[in-house]
Amino acid sequence: MAARVLRPAILLILGLIWLVPVYLLVVNAAKPAARYASDQVWRPVGEFALFDNIQEAWELAGLADAVTSTLIYSVVAPALAVLIGAAIGFGIVALRLRHGFFWFVLVFGGTVFPLQMILMPLFVGYVEAEIYDSRLGMLAIYTAITLPFSALVMRNFLGGIAHQVFEAAVMDGATTWRIFWRIYLPMSTSALVAVFILQATFVWNDLLLGLVLSQSDEVRPLMTALTSLQNTYGGSQLVTVLAGGLLVSLPTVVLFLSTQRIFSRGLNLGQF
């Protein structure tokens, strides 16, 4: 009986603690710049200026182009990574590719070194290949960065499908492509969606790669564009920066809330 009461109480307390930063963000982003004071961050004011602050952040940071670019990056790159990762898992598990584990380790080895270690050679390579500050270059790096984890999850998931499924399809005369596209991919929908959501969120929230590999307003991602609100010479009012941060974080929250059932199912089936 005590455990039945204690567990919800602990979860409620942890939930309230988790909501504290959200409360501070919303309360201070909704304040007029003239009413903001650093010693009164916990106290809301009577005036509600959230939408004005969001509009100011949108215009000052030039978020229109950044939203378009980030939507392209966070949809196309994770989708390519998930499909390629599923193909890698299919080749290793279903086709029983020779030295399959070696090829898997080779792909997953991309996560061994921290991203910060390869930024300089990556920057030099982008400049020499003439894809620096281009959407194609950003798509290429985001696909490469999100591929290893996608391959790991899809290999684990597809390993749970009985090999007799593949053998039965071959006996029926199905081609390898048809087996992959019409049988294995539909059976992996939940895992595909779960991995896509995780990788899309990573790309949407990226700051480091955007700072290093992009420069123009048309190419740079959202988080990089948002940093323009704060610069060496003072930048915008803090309420404007907070409003911009609130605005760019909403899409990922909506994405998780709208797909939470599929996401949870994919987590369980994908054996993370």
**Closest residue by Cα to residue 123 from 52, 212, 195:** 212
Q: Is 73 exposed, middle or buried (0-12, 13-18, 19+ CB in 10 A)?
A: buried
Residue type, 70: T
Task: Encode pLDDT of 25-84 as tens digits.
Answer: 888 888 887 777 766 778 777 778 888 888 888 887 778 888 899 999 999 999 999 999
Could you tell me which residues come within 8 angstroms of residue 206 by beta carbon, excluding any fewer than 6 positions away?
A: 142, 221, 223
Q: Region of 214 please: left (phi>0), alpha (psi -120 to 50) or beta.
A: beta
Asked whether the beta carbons of 103 and 97 are under 8 A apart, the reply is yes
Residue ranges of E strands in the chain: none
Domain ranges, ordered by start, for the chain: 49-269
CATH superfamily, with its number, for domain 49-269: MetI-like (1.10.3720.10)
Euclidean distance between CA atoms 78 and 152, whole angstroms:
14
Task: Encode pLDDT of 171-218 as tens digits.
Answer: 888 888 898 898 888 888 888 888 898 899 999 999 889 989 988 888
Least confident of 27-36, 88-97, 150-159, 239-248: 27-36
* pLDDT at res. 231: 61
